[in-house]
Structure 1
Amino acid sequence: MDALKQLICFAWEQTLACIFPVVIFASLAFTQSVSFTFLPRYDCLLVIFLLMQWWMVYSGMETKDELKVITLFHLIGLALEIFKVHMGAWAYPEKGYFKILGVPLYSGFMYASVASYLCQSWRRLRVELVRWPPFLIVVTLALAIYLNFFIHHYWLDVRWWLTGLVVIVFWRSWVIYEVNGIRYRMPLTLSFVLIGFFIWIAENIATLFGAWKYPNQTGSWRLVHLGKVSSWVLLVIVSFLIVATLKQIKERKEADEVRVSESK
């Protein structure tokens, strides 16, 4: 019964951390079944997501620092979307006023929602990192993974080499989290895989609701290839590394400010 209670508490905290992704899925389903004559669907989604983001900050569910991180992910995701659509990886066939090179602006929020989940989980579960690799290695690895999403269209796809590097670099790294006052730990690489798999499930739901379409889904909806899990795992790694690095920079800055104030 204690284990069941802890599992329910963990599921509840994860549900709260997923509030932004849940709103995205609900909005996709709602706008697919209800048409708006005054505004295209993609633009309606943009308005909904902007209002949701404003409400989360206004209500205190997200801090201003977390908003900065989420905005960064919005820009990173939008840049990736523009490139992938240009290369024909997927498409946004519906019309919209707020589009950049065929990509609706709302699409960046789907990447931002991953950052929102990570930030929320970090705070709600009091996440701590054990044996975190050096800053330079983390930044270089994150940059290499992100660039591979672009470069593999023109050169070799080195995702599996990068995956091997991730396993080597984070082999001894653990994530410690708290549920109902009890501390648990998990291998960091396992958390990457689990989050990536659940994002793949979310991707299938999103494409079912017409968020975007892969080439093999233009006629009718089909399950997204299982191989996409590897792409999401790598994207989760990039997201986690960025969030973790920014969190550590902030903690060091706050610690320095405390030391300076105590020395006066």
Structure 2
Amino acid sequence: MFSFGAHLTGLLTSSIRQLLDFAWTQTRACAFAIALLSGVAVSTLLPGLPVARYDLLVAYGVLITLLFWLRGWETGRDIAVIAVCHVIGLAFELVKVSLGSWSYPEPAVLKFAGVPLYGGFLYAAVGSYVCRAWHLFDLELVRYRPRATAAVAAAVYLNFFTHHWLPDVRWPLAGLLVAVTAGTVVHFTVRGVRRRMPLALSFVLIGFFLWVAENLATYLGAWRYPYQLHGWQPVAVDKIGAWSLLISITVVLVAAAGWPGTARRHS
């Protein structure tokens, strides 16, 4: 009985340590996003300045990008992927803002068609998270189907534009994404122990935490949905699904960059 109790205690202690280490590593992977949102938060406390807040955040985003690169926290390849995420994000913003899906109500010099350039850093932060998580967790995709997954991810991206004029097919695309990633497993390491998770499940979990981050970002005034213009309200829960789909695009980009963990994708 004593032996069983000691074994159970040891197992529980090990599990807690694993969980804490996993949470800490996730926090490290989110370093860019944390730094960016901290800058957004601090910018709300600044007194009136001759430079618009959105323009200051552009400079701040460039500075933290350089810092991460110079410190070796992100490689040149990481920066390239993050830059692509930035550009794709800005294109997404230009269409969505023009259609009134959300807005950036504050003035700025570095603002085009209602979208401040700093808006792209919000998507760059997601790209940074995926790149850093890939390194820190030593991620490996097993039985990954790159072409099929990339094709569905591209269709997901396009649907977020076309659904304003054509039928919204996000749910059929979600089903197709589950189908093409069926059997695809993400292997990752926590405290020296190799673990695994279905890729589709990782999309959902990341989507949930991106929704949490979106609530914080809109509360800080990073952007505003129409129903938040006269006072902050929580972001609709259905955005979890949207983020779960969108994260597939970032994962496809990182995998296409040729990280070691994608070399054995068909094993």
Q: TM-score range by the shorter chain?
A: over 0.9
- Deviation at 1:88? 0.4
Query: Which residue matches 1:92?
Result: 104
- Deviation at 1:64? 0.4
Query: Which residue matches 1:201?
Result: 212
SS in structure 1 of the partner of residue 152 of structure 2: helix
Deviations 1:128-151 (A, max 9, x none): 111111x32122112111101110
- Deviation at 1:44? 0.8
**Distance in 2 (alpha carbons) for counterparts of 1:87 and 1:251:** 37
Query: 1:158 and 2:169 equivalent?
Result: yes
Q: How many residues align?
A: 251
Identical pairs, percent: 43
SS in structure 2 of the partner of residue 33 of structure 1: coil
Compute the RMSD of aligned alpha carbons.
1.4
**Distance in 2 (alpha carbons) for counterparts of 1:232 and 1:100:** 24
Correspondences of 1:119-158 after superposition (within 5 Å): 119-133=131-145, 135-158=146-169
SS in structure 2 of the partner of residue 132 of structure 1: coil
Q: Return 5+ residue gaps in structure 2 as ranges.
A: 1-12
- Deviation at 1:249? 9.2
Deviations 1:199-234 (A, max 9, x none): 000000000000001000011100111011111111
Correspondences of 1:177-192 after superposition (within 5 Å): 177-192=188-203
Confirm or deny: 8 A CA contact 1:114 1:239 kept in the other structure.
yes
Confirm or deny: 8 A CA contact 2:150 2:249 kept in the other structure.
no
TM-score between both structures, scaled by the size of structure 1: 0.92
- Decide which of 220, 224, 232 is 2:231's aligned counterpart: 220
**Distance in 1 (alpha carbons) for counterparts of 2:258 and 2:21:** 25
Letter in 2 for 1:246: A
Confirm or deny: 8 A CA contact 1:131 1:174 kept in the other structure.
yes
Confirm or deny: 8 A CA contact 2:215 2:234 kept in the other structure.
yes
- Deviation at 1:247? 2.3
**Distance in 1 (alpha carbons) for counterparts of 2:58 and 2:191:** 36
TM-score between both structures, scaled by the size of structure 2: 0.91
**Distance in 1 (alpha carbons) for counterparts of 2:227 and 2:189:** 42
Query: Which residue matches 1:59?
Result: 71
SS in structure 2 of the partner of residue 233 of structure 1: helix
SS in structure 2 of the partner of residue 247 of structure 1: coil
Which region of structure 1 is more displaced relative to structure 2, 115-124 or 24-33?
Answer: 24-33
Confirm or deny: 8 A CA contact 1:17 1:120 kept in the other structure.
yes
Query: Which residue matches 1:256?
Result: none
**Distance in 1 (alpha carbons) for counterparts of 2:118 and 2:85:** 13
Query: Which residue matches 1:236?
Result: 247
SS in structure 2 of the partner of residue 94 of structure 1: coil
Query: Which residue matches 1:260?
Result: none
Q: Return 5+ residue gaps in structure 1 as ranges.
A: 253-264
